[in-house]
Structure 1
Amino acid sequence: MPAYFVTGTDTDAGKTLASAGLLACARRAGLTTLGLKPIASGSEATPEGLRNADALALQAQSVPATDYATTNPFAFAPAIAPHLAARRAGAELRLADLTNWLRPLLAHPRDLTLVEGAGGWRVPLNDEEDLAGLALEMDLPVLLVVGLRLGCLSHARLTAEAVHADGLRLAGWIGSVVDPAFAEDDALYRDNLVTLVRTLPFPCLGVIPRLPAGAPRRMAAAAADYLKLPDAH
């Protein structure tokens, strides 16, 4: 099973919940796992340094265990676009630095490795590069997390078109209910899912309902109940 790049239709589309759920699903099958978050904005200061909740959730699902710096090499405090957060910190994000970090990790692959992006497909790294370039440089198949809310049909189709135009394979999509009101009209909710299945020409790996807030491990396990692993081929 190869490594995958996980992108979303937007910020807060449910990428981390879906990624942690897939990793938990793999662990149930006795597979080794690695969850990676190259860049994380919205991190909190701790005695050990900046820590991001999404990166910690992925780290918790990595078996064998790995350290935080491996999971998340670039962490920034403000919850804003990564290139702006880096600028405020006096840093510069460069695609070459990300590929140099990721390449040795993929040289010794685990059964399932997920590289979670930040925001959507076209989130900038700097004035000339974007984070999608990491998936392109490493030739990673893409998993698309669709945040299920008003507007998701267009967002999902546009993202899929952009990934396809960049020449990468879309290996599957996952729906994640991020707006509870979206699912209140059951018939309309199901009609939207039917439209997504019809218009996204790659497999649906599951749909995660709105889950009660809880500890990351518990939420990952709950999400795994609704997911299946992507086909490596």
Structure 2
Amino acid sequence: MTTLRQRDFFITGTDTEIGKTFCSSALLQAFSQQGVSTLGLKPIASGAEWRDEQWHNDDVDALMAASSVQAPQALVCPYLMQTPAAPHIVARLEQVSIELPRIQAACEQARSLADVVIVEGVGGFCVPLNEHTDTAQLAQVLDLPVILVVGLRLGCINHALLTAQAIRAQGLTLAGWIANTVDPDMLHLQDNIAAIAQRIAAPLLGHIPRLRGTAAEQRSAAAACLDLNTLTLQSRKTYASE
């Protein structure tokens, strides 16, 4: 049986800009409401802006706001880069060498600080990080159960099924998936969710509609859409079989 804890997860998505950070923040809040300490990491982020005398990234800031444990930004995001582009391109432009052991060390430190650690990937599941490494390999090195965020818009069924296949090809556990509404005007939205649910052998943790209000209000509403009992039960079943 593995020695990994049952409530640390790697969050990936069917594409970029489909709500990984929003869903990660909702997971952090949902776990916090169960009385456990939480910490969200986004090891690699690009598109940083200078304000308040330091570099900020909206996704990193959102995860820090949703976490119950306050950790230094350098731990939450070991690789914070400025140019808003794919990480391997930004790293080359800014002469940054993305090293997986550094990210592993940050995750281990985070796990010593919080009961639940949510690690958000960058872009989709197979986005390159450098000439030799991609996000799929990062997920494999961290060896955490994966939660897939499916952005509900035209084409999401194919994207979801291919990403689920890629996750399992890396020998990783798909612990569950979240349906996040990207296009509120999407035709046959519920039929698309049903089609994915029939074809992915992992539980649907919840469907998050388009929400209004402040960031904190949206995060709270999204957390209420998630079924953590399904998630933790699935994780326990997976670990018991290993």
Q: Partner letter of residue 21 of structure 2?
A: T
Moved runs in structure 1, 4+ residues, more than 4 A?
Answer: none
TM-score normalised by length of structure 2? 0.89
Q: Which residue of 1 aligns with 2:202?
A: 202
- For this pair of structures, how many residues does the alignment match? 227
Contact 1:147–1:177 at 8 Å: present in 2 too? yes
State the SS of the aligned residue for 1:211: coil
Please show how residues 46-195 of structure 1 align to structure 2 within 5 Å: 46-106=51-111, 108=112, 110-182=114-186, 185=187, 188-195=188-195
Q: Deviation at 1:67? A: 2.0
Q: Deviation at 1:109? A: 5.9
RMSD (Å), alpha carbons: 1.4
Counterpart CA distance in 2 for 1:131 and 1:48 is 30
Counterpart CA distance in 2 for 1:133 and 1:74 is 16
Structure 1 residues 60-114: Cα deviation after superposition (integer angstroms, max 9, x where no partner): 12122222121112111222101111222121212232223223333x2633210
> Matched residues, percent identical?
43
Q: Which residue of 2 aligns with 1:2?
A: 7
Q: Deviation at 1:133? A: 1.8
Unaligned runs of 5+ in 2: 1-5, 237-242
TM-score normalised by length of structure 1? 0.92
Counterpart CA distance in 1 for 2:122 and 2:227 is 23
Q: Partner letter of residue 226 of structure 1?
A: C
Contact 1:13–1:178 at 8 Å: present in 2 too? yes
Q: Deviation at 1:225? A: 1.6
Counterpart CA distance in 1 for 2:218 and 2:45 is 20
Q: Which residue of 2 aligns with 1:219?
A: 218
Structure 1 residues 150-203: Cα deviation after superposition (integer angstroms, max 9, x where no partner): 000000000000000110000000010111221xx4xx1111111011011101
Contact 2:69–2:113 at 8 Å: present in 1 too? no
